[in-house]
Structure 1
Amino acid sequence: MDQAIGIDTLRRRHLLRLATGILLCAGFLAAAWGINRAVRPAVLASDIVVAEVRRGNVDNTINAAGVVIPVHEEVVSSPGASRVARVLAKPGQQVKQGELLLELDDREIRLALEALKEQLAQQENRIVTLKLEMEQKLKQTASAIELLEIDLQASRALRERNRKLRESGLVSGQDLLTSELNVQRNEVQLRQQRALIEDTRGSTASSIAAANLQKAILQKQIARQEGLLEQTRVRAPFSGMLTSLVEEAGASVAAGQLVARVSELNNYRVEATLSDFHARQLAAGQPVRVEQNGEVLAGTVRTILPEIQNGTIKLLVDLEQPHNPHLRNKMRVDANIVTERRANVLVLDNGSAFNGKGRQPAFAVRDGAAHKILLTLGASDGKVIEVVDGAQAGERFIVSDTSAFKDLDRIRITE
């Protein structure tokens, strides 16, 4: 005969079925969570760089490639087509002002100089000859004047005699007229000789002035040739470093060709090159940070060169420490030109996760995951970037490269 199941037994069976269901649900949820963990993308914390938004100052900068150059540099060029006769120095050595660096062949200049000196001597001889000729002509004219004055006195005396005799009827009117005409002729001849003196002096003075002018021209040409002759002995224009020199003896050089360059020692500035896209943002006097091997030197934009070549513009930067011992001629540096300064703004360490200014996606780190949000970024000095909108102080963002998961809205961060 069947017996009724006890209440305790039914209660145990019910609890057993309930526990089994709970275990099954927990197992299902655990499996789903495990599958979700396995499928959802994740990134190791060691593979990313996270930075915190904070208050700070930021300079908006433009990066330029810079080269260290001497503040004072002079080049010496060949005075004419020639060849190198003798080399007396080497590039890289320190030289003193006036020190002989090399000698150029000067034979053609010397020949031209001798020819000019001969022409000058000819002009000087011509001037002496003109003066002697003038003196001789003046003496001859003076003698002629003396004779004419005597003739004039004689003709006047004869005229006076004939006038008296005419009154007495002892001479004819024709003889009196002849004596008067002789007086007039002698007076005219005397005036002509006296005028000839002035003409002789004037014409000779004009010839001498022309000869003196030609002499002055020759003297200038001689001075120029002597200057060219001196330039064939190439000397250091000031004390410094010889950075360039034509070293091969016998090498041909063209007129105006650079044969030597001397640069001032331990006094440098920076020549920066950047895209002409930034030309409107540049101005003389802007601060510049010059960086080389982690060292930062302060500077100021001195001059913006007006010429644009191949889409680039150049500017010269004066350094606050132009005598810095770490600087070397032709050393390559980074020049960050400050175009704007912003104080007490939200900033974030700059990194490859960001692409310039404007609104762009970024990954905020919270609760062990990175969530994509939109940030508006502003000025940057290369190290930090301004956060204009989209974040608050204390929030953390991935600043390293996020291109691998740029299309995801959320990623897990694992240890």
Structure 2
Amino acid sequence: MDREIPQAQVQKAKRRRWWQIGAVVVVVLIGVLAFRSVLQTRVARSELRFATVEVGAVEASLTASGVVVPENEEVIASPIQAKIERVLHTPGDHVAAGEPLLLLDKQSSQTAFDKLRDEQQLKQNKTAELQNDLQKNVNQLRSRYAVQEVRVKSLQAALNDEQYLLSIGGGTQENVKKAELDLKVASLELTQLQRQIQDEQAAARIGMKGVGYELEMQRRDIGQLQRQLEQADVKAVRKGVVTWVNEEVGGTVNAGDPLARIADLSSFKIKATIADTYAEQLKVGGPVTVRVNNTDLRGEIASVQPKVENGIITFYVRLQEKNHQALRSNLRVEVFVLTDFRPNVLRVKNGPFFTGSPEQAVFVVQGDKAVRRTLKTGASNLDYVELQGDIAKGEQIILSNTKEYVHLKELQLSAD
């Protein structure tokens, strides 16, 4: 037979159970809080870079690579096909206008020149002979014409005499007809001689004109070769510095091959390259900033090369300060092609945090933690990024690459 448990004992057992349950809940809560504390990511401030949001202008730009080149550079080409006999100046030498740079072996060109002169003399002799023969033929025809002209006059007088005799009864009709026939034949022969003289003179003019063309062509060839020979002692066309010279002594160069370059190093321009995907944004006259070490120089696009090589397009920049002291020939520089200008916007220094996306996860510092916010980005360049959205002037963000923390809502920042 079961015995009834006293009510006081039952109440005591219930209280004990509730205490046990409460203790378990407290232990679980403490464990969750401790586990959460363990899960929170802590990053030392010394491992991060920070920047403060400020108000200012942002110039959006495309980044290109560039090299400083002389604004004026003269390429001196070989006037003739020849061998390089001697090099008189090397790159880096300062030269004056008209100063010889190198010597070419002119022997083959001189031989060709002498041959042309001989051919010209021979042609002139043959021309004189031809002219003499043509004149001789014309003179012979003129002599025959003069004789025939006298004969016609004589036959005309004979005809007049026969007609007079016939009128007084001392002549016959047959004699008159014969005199008329002789005069007619002689007149036709005179006309024929006149045409022959005209034809001979026309042929002489045509022949001499053709010979004149040949002589003129020869004179031009001789004059050109003579000028080339005079230029074979390759000289500087302007005062400047030798930037390159063909130093292959004994090597053969063809007419038109470059032999040397002379540059004026008192003024410079920029030769820049960029991917052809940005070709449509390159406009002649467009503003450009060139960074030479830590110095920014303003300029504009002077020209864009139409040819694309290996996906790269080349353009030239005209500088406002083309003789700036920081400029050196062949110096590598950064080139920024400005595409937009945004004044008085919230901006922050560019850094590894910026991925180029129009929406960006940014960690904003709040005391001893950094809270993730999703912001929009606007114009950007190598120096600054425009920020839009839940951000204010004076707030501090993490500039370092935070890609590995982008899944977290916040970061704990420790002092060390």
Same fold (TM over 0.5): yes
TM-aligned CA deviation for residue 38 of structure 1: 5.3
Preserved CA contact (<8 Å) 1:138 1:197: yes
Change (3 A) 1:149 1:393: closer
Counterpart of 1:236 in structure 2 is 236
TM-aligned CA deviation for residue 388 of structure 1: 1.5
Q: Is 1:45 equivalent to 2:37 in the alignment?
A: no
Preserved CA contact (<8 Å) 2:266 2:323: yes
Counterpart of 1:10 in structure 2 is none
Write the distance in 2 (CA, Å) between the matches of 1:191 and 1:32: 137
Supply the AA of the counterpart residue of 1:288.
V
User: How many positions carry a matched residue from both structures?
Assistant: 391
Three-state SS of the structure 2 residue aligned to 1:72 is strand
Write the distance in 2 (CA, Å) between the matches of 1:280 and 1:140: 79
Counterpart of 1:304 in structure 2 is 304
Preserved CA contact (<8 Å) 1:282 1:339: no
Write the distance in 2 (CA, Å) between the matches of 1:302 and 1:217: 42
1:179-221, Cα deviation, whole Å (9 max, x unpaired): 2222222222222333333223222111111111111111111
* Mapping of residues 199-210 of structure 1, within 5 Å: 199-210=199-210
Change (3 A) 1:56 1:165: closer
Change (3 A) 1:150 1:312: closer
Counterpart of 1:90 in structure 2 is 90
Three-state SS of the structure 2 residue aligned to 1:392 is coil
* Mapping of residues 182-331 of structure 1, within 5 Å: 182-331=182-331
Counterpart of 1:7 in structure 2 is none
Supply the AA of the counterpart residue of 2:381.
D
Write the distance in 1 (CA, Å) between the matches of 2:386 and 2:183: 116
TM-aligned CA deviation for residue 172 of structure 1: 4.5
TM-aligned CA deviation for residue 66 of structure 1: 0.8
Preserved CA contact (<8 Å) 1:376 1:390: no
Q: Which runs of 5+ in 2 are unaligned?
A: 1-25
Counterpart of 2:66 in structure 1 is 66
Write the distance in 2 (CA, Å) between the matches of 1:73 and 1:121: 42
Counterpart of 1:347 in structure 2 is 347
Write the distance in 1 (CA, Å) between the matches of 2:244 and 2:299: 28
TM-score by length of 2: 0.86
Write the distance in 1 (CA, Å) between the matches of 2:384 and 2:109: 64
Counterpart of 1:144 in structure 2 is 144
1:97-135, Cα deviation, whole Å (9 max, x unpaired): 222111222222222222222232233333333443344
Counterpart of 2:411 in structure 1 is 411
Write the distance in 2 (CA, Å) between the matches of 1:177 and 1:227: 74
1:51-71, Cα deviation, whole Å (9 max, x unpaired): 222221111111111111111
Change (3 A) 1:142 1:392: same
Write the distance in 1 (CA, Å) between the matches of 2:322 and 2:157: 100
Preserved CA contact (<8 Å) 1:273 1:312: yes
Change (3 A) 1:186 1:282: closer
Q: Is 1:109 equivalent to 2:109 in the alignment?
A: yes
TM-aligned CA deviation for residue 74 of structure 1: 1.9
Supply the AA of the counterpart residue of 2:371.
H
Counterpart of 2:363 in structure 1 is 363
Q: Which runs of 5+ in 1 are unaligned?
A: 1-25
Write the distance in 2 (CA, Å) between the matches of 1:37 and 1:189: 136
Q: Is 1:119 equivalent to 2:119 in the alignment?
A: yes
Write the distance in 2 (CA, Å) between the matches of 1:214 and 1:104: 30
Change (3 A) 1:177 1:55: same
Preserved CA contact (<8 Å) 1:357 1:378: no
TM-aligned CA deviation for residue 76 of structure 1: 1.9
Write the distance in 2 (CA, Å) between the matches of 1:165 and 1:95: 102
Counterpart of 2:396 in structure 1 is 396
Supply the AA of the counterpart residue of 1:85.
E
TM-aligned CA deviation for residue 333 of structure 1: 0.3
Preserved CA contact (<8 Å) 2:91 2:244: yes
TM-aligned CA deviation for residue 332 of structure 1: 0.4
Write the distance in 1 (CA, Å) between the matches of 2:42 and 2:175: 150
Change (3 A) 1:96 1:28: same
Three-state SS of the structure 2 residue aligned to 1:351 is coil
Write the distance in 2 (CA, Å) between the matches of 1:158 and 1:293: 114
Preserved CA contact (<8 Å) 1:266 1:324: no
Supply the AA of the counterpart residue of 1:308.
V
Write the distance in 1 (CA, Å) between the matches of 2:164 and 2:308: 105
Change (3 A) 1:157 1:305: closer
Preserved CA contact (<8 Å) 2:292 2:327: no
Q: Is 1:333 equivalent to 2:326 in the alignment?
A: no
Change (3 A) 1:199 1:39: closer
Three-state SS of the structure 1 residue aligned to 2:356 is coil
Three-state SS of the structure 2 residue aligned to 1:98 is coil
Change (3 A) 1:318 1:157: closer
Supply the AA of the counterpart residue of 1:307.
K
RMSD: 2.6
Percent identity, please: 28
Counterpart of 2:158 in structure 1 is 158
Change (3 A) 1:282 1:390: farther
TM-aligned CA deviation for residue 170 of structure 1: 4.8
Counterpart of 1:56 in structure 2 is 56
Change (3 A) 1:148 1:49: same
1:311-348, Cα deviation, whole Å (9 max, x unpaired): 22222111111111221111100011111000111111
- After TM superposition, the structure 1 stretch with the greater mean CA deviation from structure 2, 104-113 or 36-45, is 36-45
Three-state SS of the structure 2 residue aligned to 1:256 is coil
1:359-405, Cα deviation, whole Å (9 max, x unpaired): 12111110211111211111112211111213122222111122343
TM-aligned CA deviation for residue 162 of structure 1: 2.9
